[in-house]
Structure 1
Amino acid sequence: MIEIWVNPACSKCRTAVSELDAAGKEYVVRRYLEQPPTTAELEDVLARLGLEPWDIARTADAPKLGVTLPARDADHRHTWLELMSDHPGLIQRPIITASDGTTVIGRDPDSLATVIDAG
């Protein structure tokens, strides 16, 4: 089973869902703005992506969310995770995880193909 974290207002999310439908894949939608991920869930996703929290942050959205972002370093990593859990609008989208653990930020056709082939 594939899980996709979406914001329904996001065109990239709608495209990813359409691609999953076209491929005949079964998936679960998580509206992450309504059901924010925990810091542990973010840690898991980041480990599978091989990225740091600031790598999947929508930093340009921080001011409109009233968030001041900390430094991008190990000392502030947990603060980033807490901010992203408390303000899920900071999280890049869509994040898609296939049943085999393959995880991508599905913003381009190649990333979508990777997770569709894996799932």
Structure 2
Amino acid sequence: MEIWINPACSKCRTAKAALDEAGISYTERRYLDDPPTVAELAEVLDRMGLQPWDIARPKETAAAGIVLPRDPEHREEWLAAMAADPATIQRPIITADDGTTAVARDEETLARFIG
């Protein structure tokens, strides 16, 4: 299991604590320090069945100047912009060993990874 986190994020700390409490081993990726590539981000989105704008943080994308249309024609531009400024990516993102991936910001989603 891998979890993309920002250590300053309370939702990330909550997710890590829940995984730790459940005794689940995981690899932690501090995605601000080790940003995903465009290909990695695309792969994660494909596994979730989402588009880049679906996991964009509105305040951060505005601050980063990302004002692209939310349509498939601009998907690659979204991916490039988010990879260039990973603070724009929603968190935490968890990928289980079976490939199941989700933004685990709520208890219900997090529970899917804990069982």
Range with bigger deviation, 55-64 or 16-25: 55-64
1:77-116 matches, cutoff 5 A = 77-116=75-114
Q: Which residue of 1 aligns with 2:68?
A: 70
- What's the TM-score once normalised by structure 1's chain length? 0.93
Structure 2, unaligned runs of 5 or more: none
Determine the C-alpha separation between the residues in 2 that align with 1:8 and 1:91.
14
Instruction: Give 1:61 shift.
Output: 1.4
Alignment RMSD:
0.9
State whether residues 54 and 80 of structure 1, in contact with CA within 8 Å, keep that contact through their aligned partners in structure 2. yes
Match runs of 1:1-119 below 5 Å: 2-65=1-64, 67-117=65-115
Contact 2:6-2:32 within 8 A present in 1 as well: yes
User: Identity over the aligned pairs, expressed in percent?
Assistant: 56
Deviating beyond 3 angstroms after TM superposition, the runs of 4 or more aligned structure 1 residues are none
CA contact under 8 A between 1:69 and 1:80: conserved in structure 2?
no
Q: Is the contact made by 2:66 and 2:81 (CA closer than 8 Å) also made in structure 1? A: no
The total of aligned residue pairs comes to: 115
Structure 1 unaligned blocks of 5 or more? none
CA distance in 1 between partners of 2:15 and 2:114 (Å): 10
C-alpha separation between the residues in 2 aligned to 1:5 and 1:69?
24
Tell me if structure 2 keeps the 8 A contact 1:6–1:29.
yes
